[in-house]
Chains A and B, each alone.
Chain A
Amino acid sequence: MPFTPKPHAALLIVGHGSTENPDSSTPYFDHADEIRRLGAFGEVHCCFWKEEPSMREAEYLIDADEVYVVPDFISEGYFTQDVIPRELQLEGPTTSRAGKTWHYTLPVGVHPSMTGLLLRRAREVAPDADPAQTTLFIVGHGTGLNQNSTKAIKDQAALIKASGAGYAEVLDAYMEEQPFIAEWAALATTPNVVVVPFFIADGLHSYQDIPVLLGIEAEPGEAASQREVFRHNPHHVRGKTLYYSSAIGTERHLADVILDQVADFDAKYHEAR
C-alpha cells in the first residue's frame, strides 16, 4: 500500500533490546534508518525495554505533537498489551497527554503483509529446493503463559498454506511449547526442510538457541555480532536437507510493514481525515 508521508508526525519504534548483545536492537535501528531514508515521517526514533532510550525517556526525544507508536514485536501479548501501554502511559488506540497525541498501532508481526516477507525469505534461503518436496517451518518462542504469543505464527502458517506457494507442508513450531521445533525431523515428511524464525532480531533465540534445537550446532555459539560469517546452508542432518534462515525481522522490507501498520491504524481510526 503506498504510504502518504507524515512530515508533521513522529514515528516511535518500540523494541525489546538486550543487555547481552547489540544484535537484538540492530534491526530496529535499521528499520528506523530505512524509514528516514523513505522520508515517511518528520522524525523517526527507537526506544526499548532493555536498552536506552527507555520508553519513559522517549517523549524527550520527540519534537512533533503527533506520535505513531509501532511495536516492532511479533505477537500481541504481555509486551504489547501490558508493558508498552504502561511504560508509555497509553490509554487506548489514541492518547492525548502533555500536549502530544500518541497513536498506538498493532505489532508488526500480526500484519497480513508479513506473509509475503516470510515467503520471500523462505525462497531466498533455499532457492534450489522444490517447494513440493519441502516443509516450511515458521518458528516462534511459545510460552504456556499467553495463548496470544502463538496466534500470529499459527495465522501466518495458515496464510502461507492458502497462498498457493506450493510447499508440501507449512507448519508452526515453538521453542518452549508443542509442537516443539526440536522434533522437526519427525514432524516433516519431506526430504527438504526450510526453517524461518519468526523473531525480530537475530538475538539469543534465533542465533544461538534454535540451531542447537535443530541439531546443526552442538551448543549455543557466539552472538551474531561476534561471528565472522553467517551459517552455511544447506545442512545435512537427521537424514534431511535443512535450510535455516536468519530472523524475519532482519528483512529490510520490514520497514514497509511498519508503515503498513500505521496506514491500517489511520484507515481504522482516522477515516474522517
Chain B
Amino acid sequence: MKLAERLSAAVAGGIRRIGQIAIRPQDGVYLLCHIDDENSDASLLEKFEGSATARDLSTWAEDGHYRFTKGELSLKRGWLLQLSSSEELRQALDHFYPAAAGLWFAQHDGRLEIEHLRDKLNRQTGMYRFARTLSDAGAQRLVSEVCGPGHCCVKKILWQLDANTPLEDSEASRFDGVTGDIDRSQAIPLLCREACNHFVAEARKASKAEQDAKATG
C-alpha cells in the first residue's frame, strides 16, 4: 500500500496527532492545526489550503527564528490548513515533519534501519571528520545537552552510542516522540533513526574542545 493510503488508513483508524500537529478528518478532507489551537474557535484561525502552505507555516517560529530542525518544539499557532486528499496530507506532513510518517510505517514493518552514533560520526569527512574523536562521555553529555524536549527537539531517539552502549538515562533519551497529553495510540511518534547533522556539528565542536582541553591540561 502506498504511504498516502497507509496514512489515510491510520487516520481512519484513530490517528489524530503528529508532533505539534492535530489532524482531524472531516467530510472527506483533512483539517490540520497546532495542537494548542485544537479547541480554539475555528473562525479565529487563519485559513489555508494545499500542502505547499505547510512549508511556509513550518519555516519560522513565533519568535522569528528559522526552524531548520523540524522536530523543534516551536511550531507557530493560529492557522487551519485544509487538505483535500490523502496525497495532500502526506505531502503536508512531509513538510511539517519530513519523512516522519514513512519512518513510523517502516518501524511498524520492521524495516527501519537504525544507525548508531559511532557509525554516523565515523563516516564523516571534510570539516566534520573531527567529530569522530568525541569521547563516549562527551557524546553522552551532548545527547543530554542537545536533544530532547528540554532543548526543543521532540523526537524519540532510537540510536545508541554503538550496538553495545545505550544512551544514559536522561529526559532526552527517555522521550517517546509524542508531544502533549494524549493517548499514545492516537499519535504518530517522531522518530530519530540517526543523529542529525545539527548534532554532528555540535559533536565536532565538543570534540575540538576536548582536544584543546587535553593540549592545555
Since A22-B66, A53-B94, A83-B126 are in contact, a sample of 18 more A-B pairs with Cβ atoms closer than 8 Å, ordered by chain A residue number, is A17-B68, A19-B197, A19-B198, A52-B70, A52-B99, A53-B98, A56-B115, A57-B103, A57-B193, A58-B99, A60-B102, A61-B3, A61-B94, A61-B98, A61-B99, A61-B102, A83-B125, A98-B111
Interface residue A219 (Cβ < 8 Å from any Cβ of B): no
Within 8 A of B (CB), among A54-78: 54, 56-58, 60-63, 78
C-beta contact mask, A79-113 vs B, less than 8 Å → 1, else 0?
00011001000000000001000000000000000
* B66 adjacent to A60 (CB under 8 Å): no
* B99 adjacent to A57 (CB under 8 Å): yes
Q: Which residues of A contact B105 (CB under 8 A)?
A: 60
Interface residue from B98, B125, B126 paired with A57 (Cβ < 8 Å): B98
Interface size band for B: 20 to 34
Chain B residues with CB under 8 Å of chain A are 2-3, 52, 55, 59-60, 66, 68-71, 94, 98-99, 102-103, 105-106, 111-112, 115, 123, 125-126, 193-194, 196-198, 201
Closest residue of B by beta carbon distance from A63 = B2
A157 to B: closest C-beta gap in Å: 28
A57 to B98, CA, bound (A): 8
Q: Which residues of B contact A53 (CB under 8 A)?
A: 94, 98-99
Q: Which residues of B contact A63 (CB under 8 A)?
A: 2-3
Chain A residues with CB under 8 Å of chain B are 17-22, 29, 33, 45, 49-54, 56-58, 60-63, 78, 82-83, 86, 98
A226 to B59, CA, bound (A): 13
A50 to B193, CA, bound (A): 16
A61 to B6, CA, bound (A): 13
B9 to A: closest C-beta gap in Å: 14
* A22 adjacent to B194 (CB under 8 Å): no
A215 to B182, CA, bound (A): 56
